[in-house]
Amino acid sequence: MSVVSRRGFVQSAVAGSLLMPGLLSELLAADSSDPLTPKKPHFPAKAKAVIFLFMSGGVSHVDSFDPKPKLTTDHGKQVTFDHPETKNRPGYEKLFLKKPDWKFAPRGKSGIQVSDLFPHVGKQIDDVALIRSMHTSHSNHYNATLGMHTGSFAFARPSIGAWTSYGLGTTNRNLPSFLVLAPQMPYAGTQVWASDFLPGAHQGTRVVPGAEPVANLRPRVASTTRQKLELDALQAFNESHQATRRDDPDLAARIKSFETAFGMQSEMPEALDLAKETDETLSLYGLKRGQTNGFGWQCLVARRLVERGVRFVELIHTGSSGNWDSHGNMSDHGRLAQQVDQPMAGLISDLKRVGLFDDVLVVWTTEFGRTPFNNTVQNPGREHHNWGFSSWLAGAGVKRGVVHGATDEHGIKAVEKPVHVHDFHATILHLMGLDHTKLTYRHAGRDYRLTDVHGSVVKELLL
């Protein structure tokens, strides 16, 4: 075969697509070396899939899910803290408590207080387990975002979605086991969904809302039968080439990517097509017919993906014009909340409607909270705050209408039943039937895990 004809053959076979991670073709369906072969969990799982809602930038807990009447009462009171974001910072020699910008009210039968920032989620609060005592190990966006996704605050490590894929494999070979719906890059970039030292097949595949969510998804050959024959032939060449390079993970991942491309071309277009969804369903998410962007689109597509066997779907919200990093003006929170509030509530309602709520774990979080104080009372924004913030879980295996833990009377530090990011990860893995202390991978002479040498399952949140 000439160089020119071989190049043309390969281009035709992969249809111009190099998507990650890879899924095996039918030829390898029974191959025990397949990294995505379905695996038994360590123990019976409560959840079959995870939808991970990540609010990039740092949502203020004292303006959303953590009411602090004392913060309002003591508004303007001077305080002293050795805080990482204000220590030795010019202009921040004095700090003053700053009251919330939104009012709180009891919601649902449980009476859990949620602010006016999230009225739609407030209507679903009886189905939520709210954690008010989250804390994390870094106050920088990059490090905190990396930590929330990988358990590591300094070095690139596999993401929680990749660990879930590694631990459980997939039940649908035509779709990646780990998908990320992200209109824009978050802090820490692709490390948020990377597989790092895990096999490349477990890396997240990014879907970008819009007219073409996945590039080159449509086949470039007229016949899928012909494309399949070409891919089978290409697979034979690849296997022969790989046989002498068994220790090359990049090569294995690239080979899997060809297989992913073919599988996704057959099933992904239908999964992303909302045309058959009813007007009633679209309205739950605040969507207009034909709309292909916005957080409502991300949430509805996430439901369709878990219906089709995708293990882990992450939805990243960065906002249509800026993220939740409201240093300059907390009014940004109001605009951003309007983009996500109804879609998130709609997702919970829709999962219940289609009978998936008991099988899917919905996770809502951000990388850290925002300071209940600032350098002046007139300062309209809030700074980064890793000492205390809020997250919540809903769905499979999770108690409903409960609050876990608390920050102090001003919302400054997690003081009652604190939950670190490592504990958060351990709990999510537990609900997927995975013991975080046993989910390990040998790399560079040692065993690694998502929670490093830390973490405890928060059993009070579990049914």
Q: What is the mean pLDDT of each run of 10 residues along the chain (463 residues)?
A: 41 40 36 79 98 98 98 98 95 97 98 98 98 98 98 97 97 94 96 96 95 76 63 68 67 60 80 96 98 97 98 92 92 97 98 98 98 96 98 98 98 98 98 98 96 98 98
Residue 397 is encoded by which pair of tokens?
Answer: 């295996």
Crossing angle between the packed helical segments 331-353 and 295-307, to the nearest 10 degrees: 30
DSSP result, 16-29: T---SS----GGGT
Give residue 232's pLDDT.
Answer: 65
Q: Flag whether 260 is in a domain.
A: no
Choose among 209, 252, 194, 222: nearest CA to 36. Answer: 252
Residues in the chain: 463
pLDDT score, position 184: 94
φ and ψ of 369, to 5 deg: -95, -155
Q: Pairing relation of β-strands 389-395 and 112-115?
A: unpaired
The answer to whether residue 261 is domain-embedded is no
pLDDT for residue 215:
76
* β-strands 178-181, 406-407 pairing: unpaired
Q: Give the pLDDT score at 399.
A: 98
In order of 78, 341, 384, 407, the CA distances from 375 in angstroms are: 9, 30, 13, 21
Count structural domains, the chain.
1
- Please indicate, yes or no, if residue 322 is contained in any of the structural domains: yes
H helix intervals, 196-223 = none
pLDDT of 15: 39
User: Cβ atoms within 10 A of the Cβ of 313, count?
Assistant: 27
Identify whether 27 is part of a domain. no
For residues 167 and 193, the answer to whether their CB atoms sit within 8 Å is no
Structural domain harbouring 57: 34-216+276-461
pLDDT computed for residue 275 by the predictor: 96
Q: How confident is the model at residue 10, as a pLDDT?
A: 41
Q: What is the pLDDT of residue 203?
A: 96
DSSP structural state of residue 167: H
Let me know if residue 16 belongs to a domain.
no
- CATH number of the domain bearing residue 393: 3.40.720.10
Assess if residue 363 is contained within a domain. yes
Cis preceding linkage at 21, omega within 30: yes
Output DSSP code: residue 175. S
Distance from chain centroid for Cα 213: 17
Alpha carbons 240 and 221: distance in angstroms, whole number: 25
**Interatomic CA distance for residues 71 and 77, integer angstroms:** 9
Does some domain include residue 350?
yes
Identity at 5, one-letter amino acid code: S
pTM: 0.88
Measured CA distances, 222 to 227, 262, 300, 352, 444 (Å): 8, 14, 31, 41, 46
The whole-number pLDDT of residue 34 equals: 80
Q: Please check whether residue 26 lies inside any domain of the structure.
A: no
Q: To 5 degrees, how large is the angle CA 338–CA 339–CA 340? A: 95
| C-alpha dihedral sign at 444, 447, 450, 455 | negative
